[in-house]
Amino acid sequence: MAKDFSTMEDSNRSANPSIHEVSDPARRIFVRGGLAATVAGLLGPLAAGCASTGGGNMAAFGRSIGFKSIPMAAIDDVVVPEGYSAQVLYRWGDPVGIAGQMPVFRPDGSNTAAEQALQAGMHHDGMAFFPVDGSSQRGILVMNHEYVDDGLLHVDGMKTWTAEKVRKAINAHGVSVIEIQREGNAWKQVLPSKFARRVTAATPMTITGPAAGHAMLKTAADPTGTRALGTFNNCSNGQTPWGTYLTCEENFADYFEGVEQPDAHQRRWGIRKGNGAKYRWHEHEERFDVAKHPNESNRFGWVVEIDPQDPTATPIKRSALGRAAHEGAATALTADGRAVVYMGEDSRFEYIYKFVSRDRVKPGGFAANRELLDHGTLYVGRFDVEGTGEWLPLTQGKGPLTTDKGFASQGDVLIKARQASDALGATKMDRPEWTTVDPITKEVYCTLTNNSNRGASGQPGVDPANPRVNNTMGQIIRWKEAGDLDATRFAWNHLVLAGDPKQGRWEAQGNIKGDTFGSPDGLTVDARGVLWIQTDVSTSTLGKGEYSNLPNNQMLACDPTKGEIRRFLVGPAGCEITGLTATPDLRSLFINVQHPGEPANERSDPDKPLAVSKWPDGGGRPRSATVVITKNDGGVVGT
Ligand code: FEO
Ligand code: CA
Ligand code: CA
Ligand code: CA
């Protein structure tokens, strides 16, 4: 989610030990060049390209990047390299495809709340392609609808405010499950489809795992603490080897109107008076009023598992993965088949998490793995000097996580994962966004999008992993576990510090080998080992200040063994580029264009909806949309 730097959530006031101090800025910036010899000896070098069966047959294509880089420009279209085509596939308001219930989109915002529940939500984000029968020609596409622009969602925007508008906004959040099919070089949505589904911010869900039934999860509507309504602010995602979709609840605090005197727990999670002004749900949906329902917000901030094959399946909030302003949930397997989930928490000075399942994945899809994500160990990352790090277990009774410190049960640890991570001394990062695991080397990458508060008065200073004050540009960090993915130690360095060499401040210049970018967010290593980077520069910043040469958001490709970064796509005016997934043959790449036309204040004027962008329809209202990219000669995208 693009956020104004001035209003970004920043609630970490813990006094974690400052073990990260490094006095030499040159050493900080060049740590990316490779690991210190001692570390290399200890853990083996990063980016060594060790042999692996990961990536399947596609790894044989190699990581090479063959397309010609495109220039950055202030345009209002999706631009891709010569020899490629981009096709709009699924826009806000398009019917999801439920038989007999496919309301037509009304470009003036006049669809009802009930119709919106049957149509694509707004602000498409994380996304995953599930092949039907292993096919690269037909599949189920699942995607998040992160948040809404109420200025576009309703005919007169927020000029009046009604229960119907709140219901429509609730129904424009959540997840879409659609079916798509390739015909020649074009893709089309299968309408109707037996898979079609909308999950919204009102869909009934269960809460499972160690925190289920915890006193802090109990509400008047759910005295069991196991049944929640809906999911929202779903940012990035995960795709499990057993065929399910993970959707991650990010900035949930923005939806809850807090109280004048928040308690320490509410303060740590940013549940403040005035939050409700953004979406105004609490005015018509009482559960978003913290004064009346103090525990409702504890039921958000989870990773939710959805079975895309069964539109009647109840989504499951997996408490074992911990509570956070979850960005994504990249999933991979240990050599013996246990699931490992990497998760960033996107707020200033928050943390990077890893979950390792207790049990091995069994053959037989979701039916055989229904409780896999309910049992395991959650860790939080500490990035030390000299490029080493440690995963600290968030386990009740270990270290400071004891009853006298407020952690009487594992449920306490998981619901209060931020406080537990503070107590363990985890490293406060520059807004961790997406994580991704290289299927060939098993190196893990994470985007740290930016943090303009780094080094500000009263705020944490730099550390080796977060080496720049007033970090407007962000960086991509990577690590390799010391052994298998379940290891508790790792070696790390920076793939790149983003920036623009033409800027005056060294902290904004970066060290990119290739095309300029800042605020990396979406991040995926594809099956042949190409790292795709998507940017989310907030619309209040695009084209201004240190982003003067970056008027639009973009997507780039990188061969991480060489470090060269090349621009592949530029998006329309006022959008974020996000949500990358591909067919197994890598001949179709899907991305999401989120909030084209978003003005700097993130709320459109319903009387001038086309003020910033006319994409994709050329009229009506701008619409977030899924775009599919193919190579005109039918080849692998990026080669
Ligand atoms: Fe929703 Fe952190 O981006
Ligand atoms: Ca966004
Ligand atoms: Ca994001
Ligand atoms: Ca972002």
Q: Which fold has domain 5-43+58-222+233-250+301-631?
A: Neuraminidase (2.120.10)
Pair of tokens at residue 1: 């989610």
Q: Is the C-alpha dihedral spanning 455, 352, 288, 158 positive or negative? A: positive
- The backbone torsions φ and ψ at residue 543, rounded to the nearest 5 degrees and listed phi first, read 75, 5
Q: Give the atom of ligand 1 at the shortest distance from the alpha carbon of 125.
A: 1
Q: Give the atom of ligand 1 at the shortest distance from the alpha carbon of 344.
A: 2
Q: Give the atom of ligand 1 at the shortest distance from the alpha carbon of 250.
A: 1
Distance between CA atoms of 107 and 152, rounded to whole angstroms?
9
Within 10 angstroms of residue 224's Cβ, the number of other Cβ atoms is 12
Cα angle 401, 443, 25 (rounded to 5 degrees) comes to: 80
Amino acid in the structure at residue 48: A
Distance between CA atoms of 553 and 220, rounded to whole angstroms?
44
Q: Give the atom of ligand 1 at the shortest distance from the alpha carbon of 431.
A: 2
**Counting ligands in written order, which one lies closest to the CA of residue 522?**
3
pLDDT at 4: 39
Q: Is the C-alpha dihedral spanning 424, 426, 432, 437 positive or negative? A: negative
Distance between CA atoms of 274 and 294, rounded to whole angstroms?
15
pLDDT digit string, tens, across residues 488-518? 999 999 999 999 999 999 999 999 999 999 9
Distance between CA atoms of 152 and 58, rounded to whole angstroms?
41
Within 10 angstroms of residue 367's Cβ, the number of other Cβ atoms is 12
Pair of tokens at residue 174: 């959540």
**Counting ligands in written order, which one lies closest to the CA of residue 579?**
3
All residues at 6 or more sequence positions from 610 whose CB lies less than 8 Å from its CB, including other chains: 597, 619, 621, 622
Name the residue at shortest CA distance from atom 1 of ligand 1: 1
pLDDT at 420: 99
Centre of ligand 2 to C-alpha 363, Å, is 37
Pocket of ligand 1 (CB under 6 A): 1, 146, 235, 250, 327, 346, 433, 521
pLDDT at 55: 47
Distance between CA atoms of 23 and 223, rounded to whole angstroms?
53
Q: Are 563 and 537 in contact (CB under 8 A)?
A: no
pLDDT at 298: 99
Distance between CA atoms of 304 and 323, rounded to whole angstroms?
11
Show the low-confidence residues of the chain (pLDDT under 50). Answer: 1-7, 17-45, 47-55
Centre of ligand 3 to C-alpha 236, Å, is 6
pLDDT at 20: 36
Q: What is the pTM of this model?
A: 0.94
Centre of ligand 3 to C-alpha 618, Å, is 26
The DSSP symbol for 572 reads: P
pLDDT at 57: 82
Centre of ligand 3 to C-alpha 40, Å, is 32
Residue whose C-alpha is closest to residue 182's, from 118, 132, 241, 119: 132
**Cα(first)–Cα(last) distance of the chain, in Å?**
30
Range 62-81 burial, b when 16+ CB lie within 10 A, else e: ebebebebbebeeebbbbbb
H or E element at residue 128:
strand 124-131
Centre of ligand 4 to C-alpha 476, Å, is 13
Centre of ligand 4 to C-alpha 132, Å, is 31
For residue 395, the SS3 value is coil
pLDDT at 30: 34
Q: Are strands 513-514 and 564-570 parallel, antiparallel or unpaired?
A: parallel
Centre of ligand 3 to C-alpha 229, Å, is 23
Centre of ligand 2 to C-alpha 597, Å, is 12
Q: Are 442 and 332 in contact (CB under 8 A)?
A: yes
Q: Give the atom of ligand 1 at the shortest distance from the alpha carbon of 327.
A: 2
Q: Are 5 and 542 in contact (CB under 8 A)?
A: no
Q: Give the atom of ligand 1 at the shortest distance from the alpha carbon of 449.
A: 2
DSSP-derived secondary structure for 400-458: T-SGGGT--SHHHHHHTHHHHHHHHT---EE-EEEEEE-TTT--EEEEE--BTTTT-TT
Q: Give the atom of ligand 1 at the shortest distance from the alpha carbon of 235.
A: 1
Cα angle 336, 337, 341 (rounded to 5 degrees) comes to: 125
Q: Give the atom of ligand 1 at the shortest distance from the alpha carbon of 2.
A: 3
Q: Give the atom of ligand 1 at the shortest distance from the alpha carbon of 236.
A: 1
Encode 501-555 in three state secondary structure: CCCCCHHHHCCCEECCECCEEEEEECCCCCEEEEECCCCCCCCCHHHCCCCCCEE
For residue 151, the SS3 value is helix
pLDDT at 46: 53
pLDDT at 185: 83
Centre of ligand 1 to C-alpha 2, Å, is 7
**Counting ligands in written order, which one lies closest to the CA of residue 232?**
1
- The backbone torsions φ and ψ at residue 113, rounded to the nearest 5 degrees and listed phi first, read -60, -40
**Counting ligands in written order, which one lies closest to the CA of residue 575?**
2
Distance between CA atoms of 145 and 174, rounded to whole angstroms?
5
Residue whose C-alpha is closest to residue 396's, from 415, 371, 372: 415
Centre of ligand 1 to C-alpha 258, Å, is 22
Edge-to-edge strand order for the sheet containing 84-91? 84-91, 625-631, 588-594, 576-582
Pair of tokens at residue 407: 């952690």
**Counting ligands in written order, which one lies closest to the CA of residue 474?**
4
Examine residue 616 and say whether the peptide bond preceding it is cis (omega within 30 degrees of 0). Answer: yes
Q: Are 522 and 533 in contact (CB under 8 A)?
A: yes
Distance between CA atoms of 381 and 388, rounded to whole angstroms?
11
C-alpha dist (Å) from residue 136 to 25, 176, 528, 627: 48, 20, 15, 16
E strands along 146-218, which residues?
174-183, 186-189, 197-199, 204-208
Centre of ligand 3 to C-alpha 633, Å, is 32
pLDDT at 26: 35
Residue whose C-alpha is closest to residue 546's, from 537, 535, 557: 537
Name the residue at shortest CA distance from atom 3 of ligand 1: 1
The DSSP symbol for 59 reads: G
